[in-house]
Amino acid sequence: MTNMNFDVARFNMIEQQIRTWEVLDNRVLEVMQKIPREMFVPDNYQQLAFADIEIPLPAGQTMLAPKVVGRILQALDINPDDRILEIGTGSGYLTACLSQLGNAVISVEINEEIHRLAKRNLDKLDINNVTLKVGDAADGWTQDASFDVIVVTASLPVCNNCFGNMLQNSGRLFVVIGKEPTMDAKLVTHIGNKDFREETLFETCIPAIKSTVELKEFIF
């Protein structure tokens, strides 16, 4: 593809996939039009960079489908001063989108190879409000205190209270809960004290989170 074709393909992705999946937030659409998704896709999948599929990454990971990224960003309603935690950096595409909507992003990746891949991709765009870290955040990431927004990019078998404990008041958490073949994408909002509001956004099925710990169940 030429550069012009990439631009056209990105536009078509927005119009044919993102908008038709009820993603209508102009801020989200502008960011997804701006960030060159093709830069975050492995070379051998370049022709599928804008397809409505999950794209394989090294170490058995995948890149979320574009429409899922759009729904995540819209649901989180990110403010320009929000501090964001992303659990599972992947190739860095969602990370880049988050960086354009919020104030600062801390993204934690358990796999060092994927971490290096994301760093290379983000460095190409000179994004300077993202901090990439290597570690296991499936059971929380308390070393960087609390957040306005938390995004978990892989599925969890059960809800885990550690994420709620890391949210500021009015903070929002996106997480996919369940096991194959059916999982629910959820938005959890911290409404004060130890109270949370949970909303099911859509059904999906994405790879499970990789962790060195046994996750404990918690119902918000």
For the chain, what are the domain ranges? 3-204
| Token pair listed for 192 | 């004060």
Residues of the chain with pLDDT under 70: 1-4, 160, 212-220
**So what's the pLDDT on residue 4?**
47
Average pLDDT, the chain: 91
Phi, psi of 219 (to 5 degrees): -105, 125
- pLDDT one-digit tens code per residue, 91-138: 999 999 999 999 999 999 999 999 999 999 999 999 999 999 999 987
The DSSP annotation for 32-53 comes to HHHS-GGGGS-GGGGGGTTSSS
What local confidence, expressed as pLDDT, does residue 181 receive? Answer: 86
Topology (CATH level 3) of domain 3-204: Rossmann fold (3.40.50)
136 by Cβ neighbours in 10 Å (0-12 / 13-18 / 19+) ranks as: middle
Instruction: Quote the pLDDT of residue 213.
Output: 56
The residue written with tokens 């997480």 in the block is 175
Beta strands 130-134 and 104-109: pairing type? parallel
